[in-house]
Structures are given as C-alpha cells and as structure tokens.
Amino acid sequence: MTFNKIAALAFAGVMTLGVVATVAQDTFVAPTTPEAAVAAREALMKSNGATLKAAGALTGPEAAAAMQTLLDNFTHMPATFTEGSIVGDSEALPAIWQNWEAFNAIIETGKTAAADGMAAAETGDMTAYGVALKTIGGTCGTCHQQFRAK
Ligand code: HEC
C-alpha cells in the first residue's frame, strides 16, 4: 500500500468518526402525536429557560456550548408545533398556525442570534455575546406574548 492510500484511508476513518459524533450529539426525534409534540416543546422550552438563565454568567467554550443548545432548540422548535397540537395542559394558541410565517420569523431571529452569540463566544467578544443574548431573550417574550396563553 502506498503512503497516499494509507493517508486516504486514515482520513476516511476520521471523517466517518466525525459524522458519527455529529449524529450522536443531536438526538432530537420529531414528535408524531399531539401529546408527544406538547411534551417535546415543554422539554425544549424548559431547556431554553435554564440555558438562557445560565448563559449570562458564562464565557469561552461554556458560553459557546450554551449558544449551541439554544441554536439546536430554535432549529427543532417548528417540528414540536405540529399543526393543531393543543392537548392536555398546552398553552399554545391556534394563532400559531394562522400566522405560521410570523411564528417562524421569530424563530429565525433566534437562530441567527444564537449563531452570532456562538461566534462571539468563540472569539471572546463579550460585547457581541451580550447583544446576542439580549436579542435571544427578546424572541422569547415576543413569541410568548403573541402565541402563548397567559
Ligand atoms: C416562536 C415562539 C417561541 C419562542 C421563540 C420561545 N417560546 Fe417559549 N413557548 C412558546 C409557546 C407557544 C409555549 C407554550 C407551549 C405549550 O404549552 O404547548 C411556550 C412555553 C414556554 C415555557 C413553559 C414550558 C412548560 O413547561 O409549559 C417556557 C419556560 C418557555 N416557553 C421559555 C422560553 C424561553 C426562555 C425562550 C427564549 C430562549 C422561549 N421560550 C422562546 C413559544 C415560544
């Protein structure tokens, strides 16, 4: 075997490991029943609350990890609001599906801010990190005001 072949095989092995690790990190499974949707978004929202609360005091890799969690949560959010899934103790309003684009626009704002916050944490730009946190916090309030029963 030539050196190049060995190197290529080693590289392929590293790439395979990388893919496996990436998949293993993100264990989200989209809910398929209304009950599962409500449970999934309650868990997701609780994670939002805990992560955002802690994020202000974090720096460096821990801050970046918090932003990754929020980015994942925003990314999965639409799938936890399957159409009409208001059952049990859900506080979701029908307005969500009547204004699906506006609902998703808030989520997109959150995604962008979480990605910005992650980049800021990685470069140690705590001013930009603070701005991102403020924007993320704003999306929580904006969405709850319009789309969550009080
Ligand atoms: C795009 C809309 C939207 C965004 C953005 C959003 N939420 Fe929510 N959130 C909701 C809705 C709707 C509910 C009610 C869900 C239900 O009860 O079915 C909710 C519920 C919650 C709950 C109660 C969960 C429970 O156990 O009943 C918490 C806590 C929460 N959100 C925190 C947050 C935080 C913190 C953020 C920002 C990082 C956030 N949310 C962003 C729409 C949103």
pLDDT number for residue 4: 58
17 Cα: distance to centroid of ligand 1 (angstroms): 35
pLDDT number for residue 150: 80
- For the CA atoms of 123, 127, 133, 135, the dihedral, rounded to the nearest 10 degrees, stands at -120
pLDDT number for residue 20: 45
Between CA 150 and CA 7 the distance in angstroms is 60
Say which CATH number the domain at 60 has: 1.20.120.10
pLDDT number for residue 5: 57
pLDDT number for residue 3: 54
CB 81 within 8 A of CB 19: no
140 Cα: distance to centroid of ligand 1 (angstroms): 7
* Ligand 1 pocket member 49 (CB < 6 A): yes
* Count of structural domains, the chain: 1
Predicted confidence pLDDT, tens digits, the chain (150 residues): 555 555 555 545 444 444 444 444 668 999 999 999 999 999 999 999 999 999 999 999 999 999 999 999 999 999 999 999 999 999 999 999 999 999 999 999 999 999 999 999 999 999 999 999 999 999 999 999 999 998
The CA distances from residue 99 to 45, 92, 147, in Å, are: 20, 13, 9
Beta bridge partners of 92: 148
* Ligand 1 pocket member 91 (CB < 6 A): yes
pLDDT number for residue 19: 47
* Ligand 1 pocket member 144 (CB < 6 A): yes
Residue type for position 3: F
Query: Taking the model in full, what pTM does it have?
Result: 0.86
Range of the domain at 8: 3-147
* Ligand 1 pocket member 111 (CB < 6 A): no
41 Cα: distance to centroid of ligand 1 (angstroms): 7
Nearest CA among 66, 144, 50, 55 for reference residue 106: 144
* Ligand 1 pocket member 136 (CB < 6 A): yes
Between CA 53 and CA 74 the distance in angstroms is 16
What count of other Cβ atoms lies within 10 Å of the Cβ of residue 90? 17
